[in-house]
Amino acid sequence: MQKPSIPKGTRDFSPEEMAKRNYIFETIKEVYHLYGFRQIETPAMENLSTLMGKYGEEGDKLLFKILNSGDFLSNLEPSDLSEDVSAAKAAAKIAEKGLRYDLTVPFARYVVMHRNEITFPFRRFQIQPVWRADKPQKGRYREFFQCDADIVGSDSLLNEVELLQIIDEVFSRFRIRVLIKLNNRKILSGIAEIMGEGDKITDITVAIDKLDKIGIEKVNEELLAKGISQEAVDTLQPIIGLHGTNDEKIATLKNVLASSATGLKGVEELETILADMQRLSLRNELELDLTLARGLNYYTGAIIEVKALDVQIGSITGGGRYDNLTGIFGLPGVSGVGISFGADRIFDVLNQLDLFPEDYTRGTDILFVNFGEREQAYILPILSELRKNGIRTEIYPDAAKMKKQMTYADNNRIPYVAIVGEDEMAADKIALKDMKSGEQALFTIRQLIDKLITKN
């Protein structure tokens, strides 16, 4: 018999791991609520017509497609599957739906479909899984959760400022030290313009986005392979190697991009955001990084990425401004800006740095030993009373040997075991055993409730 398994790039989560994941979701949710965001959900699957063409060529390849229901092959002609037909065209005949790749494109679709019910600017957050047919590796999964917040219907750069504050607040609550990187797509367009390669903006951004991973030489090789001239590549070198303070970088960019109106507009936007951020007491560093490109085609303004400083792992949060995404779905002129926390990577970082609070993995507070039917009947009302007071309470379901019940408590890290036998029932008391110290004492129900509430 074949052993059961799960698909590569997916994971099971134990009760303890779920407690940790819920800590992440609830922390992020709490901060989103503080800033006035409201929650929505969208389906796991979308029509492929909604998803295709929104993530660039590389993203489209990573979409999980869902086969049509029923006999999906019956309408196919042999020619539809011939060698001359591309995989994408063949797939289009048998798959009309796909699993969502991110939460932003489904959100744009949601805004267009519900525009008459929405009050703009609309601040929404969404915490749901997404799927990518990516090569699984450390910190990269095929199924993972995103925790998005977006504001649509406002061009104000104050929205970017608030999203940067949210990032800073969330990671401060997690006690993860991060570097928040900031760039602007208009600056990247300006760079392409002064390189004389304005029509190759996508090739340029996709290549320089890989700088951290593959290094400057490989980036230059990739640019040359895409047909970008050596002269243009040479022009790019001092820009992507730019260092110094954020103010110094801004000053240099104003000179370098003097001949590009688009580039200067991007510099002006960044300058406004950075000026506002200086008025706030950020606990994490904010750095202007010109190599930050994020390969997604829909960013048009600010681009944001967050790196953990104490763990080697990819980006743990990202986002940016998109001016034309809803236009693809027939609602032009609605600007949006958003961020997405990568919950699974944050989980790994918190685990590696041992930053999960102890009380968050708390399970059952007290287990009642089961001696038989008579004792069980006596205990049932006590269980109800404890639960009414918010105490997580269990009774062992069978009158098994004491050793077995104690082992159950130990294995499930239950801190207290309640013993109610003949003597305890006669005295109307409960014997409470502290599993850590081994100490045992008698309590009334009220005393027991008070003790356990104090402990929690």
User: Residue 106: which pLDDT band, with cuts at 50, 70 and 90?
Assistant: very high
* Alpha-helical regions (H) of 153-296: 158-174, 185-194, 201-208, 211-225, 230-240, 246-256, 261-278
Residue with tokens 């970082």: 349
| Percentage of the chain exceeding pLDDT 90 | 65
User: Cβ distance 318 to 343 under 8 Å?
Assistant: no
- Give the tokens for residue 183: 């760039």
- Mean pLDDT (whole number) for 381-392: 96
Distance CA 132, CA 144 (A): 9
- Predicted local distance difference test score (pLDDT) of residue 76: 67
Nearest to 409 by CA among 345, 366, 350: 366
What does residue 12 show for φ and ψ, rounded to 5 degrees? -90, 155
- Predicted local distance difference test score (pLDDT) of residue 22: 95
- Quick one: 15-176+310-352 is in which CATH superfamily? Bira Bifunctional Protein; Domain 2 (3.30.930.10)
β-sheet bridge partners, residue 394: 367
- Residue spans of the domains in the chain: they are 15-176+310-352, 363-455
- Mean pLDDT (whole number) for 71-100: 69
Distance CA 444, CA 190 (A): 75
- Chain mean pLDDT for the chain: 90
User: Cβ distance 108 to 325 under 8 Å?
Assistant: yes
Helix (H) or strand (E) holding 305: strand 302-308
CATH number of 363-455: 3.40.50.800
Say if residue 455's pLDDT is above 80. Answer: no
Beta-carbon contacts of 79 under 8 Å, excluding residues fewer than 6 positions away, are 85
CA distances from 261 to 82, 254, 385 (A): 49, 10, 70
Distance CA 395, CA 398 (A): 9
Distance CA 109, CA 50 (A): 7
> pLDDT digits over 214-257, tens only?
888 888 888 888 888 888 888 888 787 788 999 999 998 998 89
pTM for the structure as a whole: 0.86
Pairing of strands 143-152, 45-47: unpaired
